[in-house]
Structure 1
Amino acid sequence: MCSKRARRSIAPAMAAESVSAHSARRAIDTMQFLMVAGGTGRIAAMTMPLIDNFHQALFDASPNPYLVLDRDLNIAGANRAYLASTNRALADIVGRWAWDAFPTDQETLGQAIASVERVIRTREVDVMALLRFDVPRIDGDGFEARYWSITHSPVLGADGEVAYVLQHPIDVTELERLRHASRDGGDAPLALLPEQSGIFTRARQVYEANLTLKADIDRLHSLFRQAPSFMAVLRGPDHVYELVNEATIALSGDRDYIGKPARVAVPEIVAQGFLAMLDDVYRSGKARVVHGMSARFRRGPDDTLTECFMNFIYQPIVGADGTVQGIFVEGTDVTDQYLAHRVVEQTLRQEARNKDEFLAMLAHELRNPLAPIGTAAELLSLGTLDEAGVRHASAVIRRQVRHMSGLVDDLLDVSRVTRGLVTLRRAPTEMGEVVHDALEQLRPVLDARRHAVAVELPGAPAPVSGDRKRLVQVLANLLSNAAKYTPEGGRVDVRLSADAVRVSLSVTDNGIGMPADLQSRAFDLFAQAERTPDRVQGGLGIGLALVKNIVELHGGTIHASSPGLGRGSTFTVVLPRLDAADGSASHPGAAVR
């Protein structure tokens, strides 16, 4: 098959006379040139022997010009009308590559090759409205440009495949010149002689009809090529690619599709089940619609497979006789939507797991205080306790009730904050004082676990515009978190720093640390590290979510980092610094982390 090569295929060396006679007779002996009017329609191979000179006489007697091309675009024969219209001798052109004999520009060459390829591939007639190729001048001085309206028809061999392509050109040079003259406002060409008018009229009709057909085909091809969904036309039981658009190339890679079976052009589809689906659609004649199917294509020069997800339809193409002749493929690359949907599903599943874990944790945290409360209440009901015993039992009940009230308050607080129901009472606030208040509040917890606490404060004030109570709550939660997740006798560092536009507050511990996956979701509601035997303080896993919301309400950011499990964690809060000149907060373009 001629493919898209510009390589010239020339017949082997033999005498021009014998080549032309042999090739012409070979072509003439197998074709019914004159049994199909005007050279159009599919031409079938002869089934009865005919005499060579009879063939030759019929061929040469036709007033219509005909050229016979083999599958490699070599000239196999031509009749007298063709030779006369092109000013050539048969011996000069037979055996030569067609566009060696008749030069043209690269664009026209590509169109002509594509037309012959379509005929060979589809076994159907192909029409070219306007094609330029040059013919020798009558005076022998070089070539002159001529314009032709050309019909290419298939000539089938005994095996049913295209053996030759019959070219029937109509010279429309004068029509083209007339069209240009009319468009440019120039003088009209000279009137035709009476004996020329009939031929000219027929040529004009064919030419105008072909121009209209070409415009329609070009418009459809343009729409097909630019369609946002991927499209392809496959012919025959081997699913040979006839057309593909740019979206198909983007999906499955820039490769040589046209004229190749699907299993050859895109071999990776065989093992993925696509070829079996094509076979089923071709056999059954029933369309196949598929949603969200995974596919892997080689899009680059190496063997790397890129996964994508597609919605597509295989639609059978049914001919006039009711049989399936091919398959139209149309679909959409939904990879981005599928991956986004998968992320949403994973997020929802994780949130559901977090909620289940939280409910179990909540039940545990609420049940723990009930045991000492129940025991103390039972002892009081017996009436056997002395005054010291009553005081102790009462203290147990008060302490556990405070603990339960704190849990409930945390739940209500995070609910209000996450729903935007909290109003900050902003005022100029010195962050050094916030550090002092939070440490004072958490000192009993830190001391109970024998943690060493180091505090680093700046030499200058670090003012912000904020709600002091809420900012103390932020640092208290971070300190509580460090105390819970650091084994007894650990270290907790609090560092406050400030520059011209930012105030940074960090809490670092040498506790159990965080794996990478937990760092990315540390501030999610109900997220919590795994409980360890020495982590006795409990908690609902809502503290960091509450902290994040409060910090963001202040126009700040919070970041969590950890070198890994067993290597501690650092939480850093960054807030806009209060501008001392006008009392407003500075808002940096990007938070420092």
Structure 2
Amino acid sequence: MGYSMSLSSEPPLSRAFLESVVATVHEPLLVLDASLRVVMASDAFLARFHVQRADTEQHLLHELGGGCWNIPGLRELLIGVLERGAVLGNHEVQHPFKDQGPRTVRLNARRLAPPSGSEQAMLLLAIEDVTGHEQERDAAQLASIVRSSRDGIISKNLDGIIQSWNRGAQLLFGYTAEEAIGQPISMLIPADHLDDEPRILERIRAGEAIEHYETTRMRKDGSLIDISLTVSPMLDASGRIVGASKVARDVSESRRSRDALRESEERLRESHVRLAEADRRKNEFLAMLAHEMRNPLAPIRNALEILRQANHHSETTLSAIAMMERQVAQMVHLVDDLIDVNRITRGKIELRRVAVDLATILRQAVEVAQPICDQKGVLLTLDFPAERVVLDADPLRLIQALGNLLHNACKFTDKGGNVWLDVRREGDQVELWVRDSGIGISADQLPRIFELFVQGDLSLERSSGGLGIGLSLARNLVELHGGTVRASSAGRGRGSEFVVRLPIAMALDSPDEDGPLVATIETPAIASHRILVVDDNRDAAESLAMLLELSGHETRLAFDGLEAVALSAQFLPEVVLLDIGLPKMNGYEVAARIRALPGGDATLLIALTGWGHDEERQRSAQAGFDGHLVKPVFPDALLKLIAERLDRP
């Protein structure tokens, strides 16, 4: 019950009148004095809160019931009503009361004028227990939620018979409440899911809840729907499990999304596998391509050397020979880059680090690029450091990287242009600046200039050839040394700049006294030997034999593995130059057969092949080869190796 106390006047009240009012009202009432001591208590208050009049009247409010009326903040509110004449209306508090447990009470209070003969104002406090009202309100809210929910909310007993059915269930399954209530829940379960219900009921009887169980159910029209079920036990007043409540949500769309995502992930995995396979095949193709490109280069280089050794050449012929030698060298350079970039992408490059003088590396890198600079009429200017700088590096790989940068700069600079190589010391790092006055790099190409197979200007009038791997290879080799490479350009026609930074191992303020990193190979004077040349490429075998005969050696030729073994037994060669990839019997097996022949253990076996990886070199050594040369071989290098092994004093 609520009380409206909106009178603004405070007429004097007699005590008899107050007692009459308190006795008449059938709701809990208290009359309090200015100190919040109970002056009067209604019978309804005594009955409702199970207290005696003697334990209530003339006691302070907060002491009642063993202190259960010591409600936080209540005294301050009531004192405010007394002092300011305000009205406390419909103030609800939740609080535990003695022998009552937690209750919700609604409080209304107003100040009363002092009774006749009293100078103190009094307070009328009306108390209404609205705990039941709150439960009813909660129940009404819950019922509203159930009615308005788009989820299907269903209750059933322990026999699986539907007891309640909301509008969401009707929208989900197509049955009205009249059609569904009283029917077994199994009418919603398709035949292949009928074993769901016994398992669910078993868990409900055990007091278990089921959270977000995804399954399939059947609509009134026979169509199937994917749902997520949450099932909870229902208890009666005594706490006994009497049934289950179910919340069913349509997850068809989310399941379709998950299925689509799963299919996309599967397609992505398949694409990854296909890409990995394509990458593997690409690597195999590049390795095979490089190998196959080496084979025709070998007879070409041999033939050029034969021509050069012939007498009475005109100046024109010598110029043509030099031009072809440059082109062969360029092809060898491209093949080497192709092999190395393929190995780097597969993590197969291992550096052979030594302490090496930077000036020596720079001189030999310049030697790599000088031919193309001379050919194009480009001036290559060097500025070496005065101090000696030593790096912890693989010298051949650094020469390759810097040679590629210089070669690239010369290639893209027109006749009469300039290429500069400057070296600067920056703390514990050294910077190598390769600058040119060439065609430059456009802003859109600059971010991708180090990517594999990316080339600069590909217009017909500016086509400079190449595979687009030199810069990528240079950057990778520098990074393997713990360094960096960056590129910059002001744009088309304004040149370009590449800066290499490398860590210094040590620096000495003394001139470079070391000789060249790789000694110049000179053709040695060697004795005549019996040499068997084995290669299924007839041009390569015959041209190499011609070169060896020009140097005074006796040669025989074999074009497959079986023929090589047979000739070795007859010819008794001192040296066998043996290709690995042979028909009928591969080079490794041929080597083993030759070693098994009488005197075969003294034969100098040299692998002469298009395969130059470390793995191939290790395998040839394990197979009993004394040396491993990669096609196209320099004739001087071959003769030097033979001399070192057979003509030692």
TM-score normalised according to structure 1 size: 0.40
